[in-house]
Amino acid sequence: MNSRNKGANGERELAALIHEELGVRLVRNLEQSRRGGHDLILHPDESGPVASWLARYAFECKRHSRATPALLRGWWSQTCNQAEHCRLLPALAYREDRASWRVVLPLCCLRPDLPAWDYRLEYTVELSVAGFAALAREFTGPSTGNAARYFAPRLSASDQCGTKRNT
């Protein structure tokens, strides 16, 4: 299987897992190769709190035989650049052969009340897809409790994770 097909299949696989966990459809961004950008976007018919929460993220999907530290750093840099370009939060999803999907997010996406750091890989959290879905449910569920205060209005989604805005 060539790398383009492997990547496209990986994007569809991840979208199906997120749909299974959260009931919200993500679709492949078919404009990504022409205009640049992230791999998965919210299906245009989706709405609701979970859909709104997912729409804040620029998903970059990677399928590779092994995820070495050097590859992870490169993938994370690409993810952050694309997210900043789209003014969204970065979300790197990757899967090694014969392994489960992992989702990497900036640490401040778990706790936006923490000081905003830069996008270095050292300031990220890595979750399973089930863990990512649990996070979505925590921040969007009917009894969000203190979680709702983490998403108080701010200048932009990218400011929330410490990116510098070009003015």
CATH number at residue 118: 3.40.1350
Instruction: Read off the DSSP letter of residue 80.
Output: H
| pLDDT at position 14 | 96
* Cα–Cα–Cα angle for 124, 127, 128, rounded to 5 degrees: 160
- Asked whether residue 167 is assigned to any structural domain, the reply reads no
Percent of the chain with pLDDT over 70: 78
Which comes out higher in pLDDT, residue 56 or 150?
56
- The token duo for 76 is 């994370």
- Which residues is 127 bridged to in the sheet? 103
Asked if the structure places residue 165 within a domain, the reply is no
- Residue of higher predicted confidence among 138 and 116: 138
The mean per-residue pLDDT over the stretch 2-19 comes to 87
DSSP conformational letter for 73 = H
155 band by pLDDT with thresholds 50, 70 and 90: very low
The parent domain of residue 53 ranges over 3-160
Return the minimum-mean-pLDDT range out of 13-17, 37-41, 86-90: 37-41
In a domain, 31, yes or no: yes
Query: In terms of Cα–Cα distance, which of 6, 54, 10, 47 is closest to 28?
Result: 10
H/E stretch holding 128: strand 124-128
pTM score of the predicted model: 0.81
Question: Structural domain tally of the chain?
Answer: 1
Give every CB contact of residue 156 below 8 A, 6+ residues apart in sequence. Answer: 87, 165
pLDDT-derived band of residue 35, with 50, 70 and 90 as boundaries?
Answer: low
Within 10 angstroms of residue 114's Cβ, the number of other Cβ atoms is 14
pLDDT of amino acid 159: 39
Give Rg (Cα) of the chain.
15
